């Protein structure tokens, strides 16, 4: 039923950082193999936004690895923890979501998680199943299971405390809630990012208090975003969404620094280590070709090989100063015969006014003459243009978004 212990470990520990403890994990896997009893492997996700990005898929991929090894994947949808907000890595209290926000986000989370997991074999639970039934007295009893001193062992809490930055009382409940999830599903192994280690240990402590075997813990790194420095985050503008068009996904991957390729190959693909080593050996493979291989692998995962080929073709066309084949048509409305650059970007590209202004200020907007491909940077947000200057031209926003303008 199960592969050998060594084979299982090679798959489920790929790119892992913390394992608490590897001895316990081996014992659990050996026991599961002998008794033919799948381990219950938990990953909790809070639907705090409607979209998943590649950073979220790191732990989903590890959960899928356990699935592929024959174990039971348990995906906890944190509908109640999302309303508290995970304080991990935060220097201030997160805005609290409403139940309506959470429900709206959950609808898209499941479809996107299904691009990684086999949902037909996944046990999906909402922690509202148990938290929604708790009385206030039961909440007080859960809060009594830890101390303020223990909570201040968390680096982010301690830093905020020393800096006299407010910490709301409800934030202390988050680790307890995540830990209680492990008790309620009788978890054997919990997965999370390195920033989750304190919360994962809380699950072990609560399980011991309840007479359960403490779960083993496996953490993975938080992947760097497109800038190669800060962790991938939609709010930082350095993320790649799992539902992004293939052309956009491929092009964005080609923009990452060479320094993060090893991390991305390890955490976002299944390529064998020896093949990755060959790809990243500059004496064997040019870095651009290695990155091209990475972009094809990831884009194929979330789309298909044909879509990845289209993404590569568009990237190469842009690199060679050619216009892509699939330029979007965009109607432009003028006011008094003119339109400001920022308003033009907002009309055709979408987003907020501040987003449009920022794109212009950062030099990310260009006007292209389609006949000779002359490209002009539009970096004055207040500059205005009329019909004759825009009609039939191509507006490029960023490196991969092209719009053929037609003035109404």
CATH number reported for the structural domain that contains residue 101 in this entry: 3.40.50.620
State whether 206 and 255 are in the same domain: no
Q: What is the C-alpha to C-alpha distance for residues 316 and 263, in angstroms, rounded to an integer?
A: 24
131 and 207 fall within a common domain: yes
Residue 286 pLDDT > 80: yes
| CATH assignment at residue 355 | 3.10.290.10
Choose the final residue of a domain: 267, 288, 319. 319
Q: Do residues 315 and 338 share a domain?
A: no
Domain count, the chain: 3
Residue 352 belongs to some domain of the structure: yes
pLDDT per residue over 34-58, tens digit each?
Answer: 999 999 999 998 887 888 899 999 9
Cβ neighbours of 230 (radius 10 Å)? 13
C-beta separation of 389 from 401 below 8 A? no
Residue 170, in any domain of the structure: yes
Judge whether residue 180 has pLDDT over 80.
yes
Could you tell me the residue range of the domain that residue 256 belongs to? 246-319
Instruction: Confirm whether 241 is domain-assigned.
Output: no
The total number of residues written for the chain in this structure: 408
Do 212 and 63 lie in a common domain? yes
User: 310 and 195: one domain?
Assistant: no
In a domain, 227, yes or no: no
Same domain membership, residue 127 and residue 58: yes
Average per-residue pLDDT for the chain: 89
Q: What is the pLDDT of residues 216-231, one digit of tens each?
A: 999 999 899 888 888 8
pLDDT given for residue 94 in this prediction: 59
**Is 60 exceeded by the pLDDT of residue 85?**
yes
| Together in a domain, 315 and 355 | no
Question: Do both 195 and 284 map to the same domain?
Answer: no
* Structural domain includes residue 240: no
387 located within any domain: yes
Domain limit, last residue, from 269, 284, 319: 319
Same domain (yes/no): 150, 268: no
Q: What is the pLDDT of residues 366-397, one digit of tens each?
A: 888 876 677 788 888 788 888 778 888 888 88
Q: Is the same domain home to 297 and 341? A: no
Residue 383: exposed, middle, or buried by beta-carbon count in 10 A (0-12, 13-18, 19+)? Answer: middle
What pLDDT does 126 receive? 93
Q: CB neighbours of 229 closer than 8 A, spacing ≥ 6?
A: none
300, part of any domain: yes
* Cβ-contact 304, 97 below 8 angstroms: no
Which pLDDT belongs to residue 95? 66
Rounded CA-CA distance 345/125 in Å is 42
Contacts 24+ apart (CB under 8 A), 340-347: 340/381, 340/382, 340/383, 340/384, 341/365, 341/378, 341/380, 341/381, 341/382, 341/383, 341/384, 341/385, 342/381, 342/382, 344/385, 344/390, 344/395, 345/395, 345/397
pLDDT of residue 365: 87
Distance CA(78)–CA(46), nearest Å, equals 5
| Co-location of 335 and 312 in the same domain | no
Pair 310, 396 in one domain: no
Where does a domain end: 319, 344, 369?
319
pLDDT of residue 212: 97
Any domain includes 237: no
Burial profile 303-314: b = 16 or more Cβ within 10 angstroms, e = fewer: beeebbebbbeb
Largest CA distance in the chain: 78
User: What pLDDT was estimated at residue 90?
Assistant: 58
Q: Provide the pLDDT for residue 34.
A: 92
Q: Confidence class of residue 123 from pLDDT cuts 50, 70 and 90?
A: very high
Q: What are the tens digits of pLDDT across the range 287-337?
A: 899 999 999 999 999 999 999 999 999 888 877 777 777 788 888 888 888
CB under 8 A, 24+ apart: contacts of 282-286: none
């Amino acid at each position: 039923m199960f592969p050998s212990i060594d084979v299982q470990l090679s798959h489920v520990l790929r790119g892992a950082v913390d394992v608490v403890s590897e001895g316990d994990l081996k014992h659990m896997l050996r026991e599961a193999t002998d008794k033919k009893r799948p381990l219950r492997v938990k990953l909790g996700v809070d639907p705090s936004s409607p979209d998943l990005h590649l950073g979220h898929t790191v732990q989903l991929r590890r959960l899928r690895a356990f699935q592929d090894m024959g174990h039971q994947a348990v995906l906890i949808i944190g509908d109640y923890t999302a309303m508290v907000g995970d304080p991990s890595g935060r220097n201030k209290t997160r805005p609290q979501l409403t139940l309506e926000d959470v429900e709206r986000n959950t609808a898209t989370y499941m479809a996107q998680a299904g691009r990684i997991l086999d949902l037909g074999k996944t046990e999906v639970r909402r922690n509202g199943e148990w938290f929604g039934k708790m009385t206030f007295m039961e909440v007080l009893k859960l809060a009594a299971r830890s101390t303020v001193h223990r909570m201040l062992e968390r680096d982010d809490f301690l830093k905020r405390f020393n800096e006299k930055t407010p910490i709301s009382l409800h934030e202390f409940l988050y680790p307890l809630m995540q830990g209680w999830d492990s008790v309620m599903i009788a978890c054997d192994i919990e997965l999370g990012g390195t920033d989750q280690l304190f919360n994962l240990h809380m699950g072990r402590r609560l399980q011991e208090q309840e007479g359960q075997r403490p779960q083993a813990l496996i953490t993975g790194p938080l992947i760097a975003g497109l800038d190669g420095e800060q962790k991938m985050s939609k709010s930082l503008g350095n993320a790649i969404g799992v539902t992004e068009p293939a052309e956009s996904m491929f092009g964005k991957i080609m923009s990452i620094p060479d320094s993060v390729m090893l991390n991305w190959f390890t955490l976002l693909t299944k390529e064998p280590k020896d093949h990755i080593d060959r790809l990243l050996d500059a004496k064997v493979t040019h870095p651009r070709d290695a990155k091209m291989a990475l972009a094809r692998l990831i884009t194929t995962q979330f789309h298909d090989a044909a879509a990845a080929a289209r993404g590569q073709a568009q990237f190469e066309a842009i690199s060679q100063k050619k216009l892509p084949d699939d330029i979007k048509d965009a109607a432009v409305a003028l006011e008094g015969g003119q339109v400001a650059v920022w308003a033009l970007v907002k009309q055709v590209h979408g987003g907020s006014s501040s987003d449009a202004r920022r794109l212009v200020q950062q030099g990310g907007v260009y006007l292209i003459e389609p006949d000779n491909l002359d490209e002009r940077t539009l970096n004055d947000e207040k500059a205005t243009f009329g019909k004759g200057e825009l009609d039939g031209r191509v507006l490029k926003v960023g490196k991969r978004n092209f719009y053929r303008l037609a003035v109404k």
